[in-house]
């Protein structure tokens, strides 16, 4: 069993704005046998550093004084040490892979069927979930089908309801341009990020990828780049990093 924890970075821009131009949904694929060790490593790090709360990418920003930010009183140097330690947990855990779908808002809104922020979100989600299905197919063998589930961050009652329905339509659709999700079981699982170590890892992946494209800053992207899913020629484009949509992406 493989669990794909996902989270978005940024907010889907409005059709009339396209600012910021990129929207990211990122995920971390954790084999069931590795989940406990990753959880223990994250919790152990929090105990050592006296962090009582969740790890989120935006909490590392200079000047973030959010009352929920457990690191708001820490020096920038210390926060960077924590961030690097989180990435080291991801890199050092056996069998972990990461993926991210990066949507170009101007290109997405040029598609006739994409007319709202919700539809842009669902397009990005569809792309990411398909790559998870492809990954499960790739690692399956004739005698063993590898199965997976998707766990997403809880956003709000209405958003969750619409995304869950979108997920079910993808699973049961027979449309020409929708993958068959033979390796996924059950529906979409939704969990508040403060209760899910996996989603907190996904949030950190998403932040690093978003900053890579939005700010052209490779600093933290380089920390997670070795974990990205790769193709047969060791390429990450189209496998670990997927630009959405292919046509017109800028």
Determine the average pLDDT of the residues in 176-186: 79
Predicted pLDDT of residue 175: 60
Predicted pLDDT of residue 250: 85
pLDDT tens, 67-91? 999 999 999 999 999 999 999 999 9
State the residue range of the domain holding 219. 2-47+85-244
How many domains would you assign to the chain?
1
Percent share of the chain, pLDDT over 90: 86
| Residue 59 within any structural domain of the chain | no
| Residue 240 within any structural domain of the chain | yes
How would residue 10 be classed by pLDDT, with cut points 50, 70 and 90? confident
| Residue 165 within any structural domain of the chain | yes
| Residue 69 within any structural domain of the chain | no
Predicted pLDDT of residue 180: 83
| Residue 77 within any structural domain of the chain | no
pLDDT tens, 96-154? 999 999 999 999 999 999 999 999 999 999 999 999 999 999 999 998 999 999 999 99
How would residue 171 be classed by pLDDT, with cut points 50, 70 and 90? confident
pTM of the model: 0.95
Distance, CA of 248 to CA of 11 (rounded, Å): 21
| Residue 222 within any structural domain of the chain | yes
| Residue 130 within any structural domain of the chain | yes
| Residue 75 within any structural domain of the chain | no
- DSSP collapsed to 3 states, the chain: CEEEEEEEECCCCCCCCCCCCEEEEEEEEEEHHHHHHHHHHHHHHHHHCCCCCCCCHHHHCCCCCCCCCCCCCCCHHHHHHHHHHHHHHHHHCCCCEEEEEEEEHHHHCCCCCCCCHHHHHHHHHHHHHHHHHHHHHHHCECCECCCEEEEEECCCHHHHHHHHHHHHHHHHCCCCCCCCCCCECCCCEEECHHHCHHHHHHHHHHHHHHHHHHCCCCCCHHHHHHHECCCCCCCCECCCEEEECCCCCC
How would residue 176 be classed by pLDDT, with cut points 50, 70 and 90? low
Quote the mean pLDDT of the chain: 94
């Amino acid at each position: 069993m493989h669990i794909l924890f996902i989270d978005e970075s940024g907010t889907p821009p409005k059709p009339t704005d396209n600012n910021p131009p990129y929207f990211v949904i990122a995920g971390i694929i954790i084999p069931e046998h590795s989940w406990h060790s990753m959880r223990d490593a994250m919790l152990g790090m929090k105990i050592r550093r006296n962090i009582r709360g969740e790890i989120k990418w935006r909490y590392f920003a200079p000047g973030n004084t959010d009352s929920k930010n457990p690191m708001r009183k820490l020096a920038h140097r210390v926060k960077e040490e924590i961030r690097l330690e989180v990435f080291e947990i991801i890199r050092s855990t056996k069998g972990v892979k990461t993926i991210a779908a990066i949507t170009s808002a101007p290109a997405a809104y040029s598609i006739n069927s994409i007319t709202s922020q919700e539809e842009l979100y669902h397009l990005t989600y569809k792309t990411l979930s398909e790559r998870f299905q492809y990954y499960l197919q790739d690692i399956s063998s004739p005698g063993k089908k590898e199965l997976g589930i998707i766990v997403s961050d809880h956003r709000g009652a209405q958003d969750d309801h619409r995304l869950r329905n979108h997920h079910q339509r993808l699973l049961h659709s027979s449309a020409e341009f929708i993958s068959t999700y033979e390796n996924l079981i059950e529906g979409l699982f939704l969990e508040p990020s403060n209760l899910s170590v996996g989603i907190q890892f996904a949030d950190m992946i998403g932040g690093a990828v978003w900053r890579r494209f939005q700010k052209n800053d490779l600093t933290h992207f380089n920390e997670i780049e070795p974990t990205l899913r790769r193709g047969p020629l060791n390429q990450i484009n189209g496998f670990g990093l997927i630009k959405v949509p292919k046509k017109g992406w800028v």
